[in-house]
Chain A
Amino acid sequence: MLILECPYCGVKAEETELSPGHEAHLKRFGPGSSDEQFESYMFARKNPKGVHFERWRHTYGCGKWFLAARCTATLEVFGTYPAQTSEPPADIVAKIKARRPNWEGVK
């Protein structure tokens, strides 16, 4: 079971209180972008076995979207942080590096 702490209301929410929002930190490509950029924004998603950054919504709680860093293989959660964050916070990156020395980092 996956338990994520909502950074807004502080509830340690069990997975069934949450809705998945898929990959986090996507850069939007809209008007003026190339076909390749738009295709990648629209369709190309990471699917790592290991460290992953995701969007989640506290659907049955405060209703807010937040971001989570976790390992898809072990369900280890490295941290959660507000959705108004354009890249993974330094403390979470440091925690991942400590736990996963071979992690290739945020790309």
Chain B
Amino acid sequence: MSEAASALGNASFEGFATIREIGPMGMIALRAKHDLPQLSAALTAVLGLGLPERRRILTRGEVRVGWMSPDELLIVLPYGDVAATVAALTQALAGVHMLVADVSDARCIFRIEGEKAAQVLMKLCPVDFAMLAPDELRRTRTAQVPAAFWAEQGGYTLVAFRSVAAYVMGLLTHSAQPGSELFPG
């Protein structure tokens, strides 16, 4: 099999915050009504994580489950664990109306790190950062393309579509230019 590669070969940039394209990262889209009784049990059995509350993301080690919409969850996990996890979830949810899809290679993922990381995103997203919960998964746009991000150890992790990875890297790089901070200090 060919070797998995991230969209931009782990490009990085040092500005007033550090931008790193990371990955390849495993991502699974799970679509099902969240009130399905089997759903939470399947998540617990397969991932050791329950069903996240609205707009929240749960973390256990390297595995995350995020609330994307009333019928969609995003599972983020090590790339090598995707196939087995898709199979296990498909089996655990057999017979119910749902979809489990490996979307790892359809997405790109970035880290925005440093004390001023939020300012990089404030310039690009129509989001009130003061209102964000610490474990909030926020879907929004970065300039002209859809994205989702959450806060994580010393910065933010941002997910977008792989086809726009270079555009997003350009946005983040430009937004993090030294001297272009929003707030002094």
Chain A residues within CB distance 8 Å of chain B: 8-14, 16-17, 59-64
Chain B residues within 8 Å of A11, by CB = 55, 138-139
| Given A62-B68, A63-B69, A64-B69, residue A12 in contact with residue B128 (CB < 8 A) | yes
Q: In the complex, how many residue pairs between chain A and chain B have their CB atoms under 8 Å apart?
A: 39
| Given A10-B55, A11-B55, A61-B139, residue A17 in contact with residue B69 (CB < 8 A) | no
Category for how many chain B residues contact A: 10 to 19
Chain A residues within 8 Å of B131, by CB = 12
A60 to B55, CA, bound (A): 14
A63 to B68, CA, bound (A): 9
Taking chain B's interface residues, is the majority helix, strand, or loop, or is none over half, making it mixed? strand
In the complex formed, the residue of A with least CB distance to B70 is: A8
A9/B55 in contact, CB under 8 A: yes
A4 to B139, CA, bound (A): 15
Chain A residues within 8 Å of B48, by CB = none
B69/A10 in contact, CB under 8 A: no
B68, B72, B126, B138: residue with the most chain A Cβ atoms closer than 10 Å: B126
- 27 examples of A-B residue contacts, CB within 8 angstroms: A8-B69, A8-B70, A9-B67, A9-B69, A9-B139, A10-B55, A11-B55, A11-B138, A11-B139, A12-B128, A13-B126, A14-B126, A16-B141, A17-B126, A17-B140, A60-B140, A60-B146, A61-B69, A61-B139, A62-B68, A62-B69, A62-B70, A62-B72, A62-B139, A63-B69, A64-B69, A64-B70
- Given A10-B54, A62-B68, A62-B70, 4 more pairs with CB closer than 8 A: A9-B67, A11-B55, A60-B139, A64-B70
Q: State the Cβ distance, B31 to closest chain A Cβ, in Å.
A: 11
In the complex formed, the residue of B with least CB distance to A63 is: B69
Q: State the Cβ distance, B28 to closest chain A Cβ, in Å.
A: 17
Quick one: CB contact mask for B119-134 with A, threshold 8 Å, 1 for yes?
0000000101001000
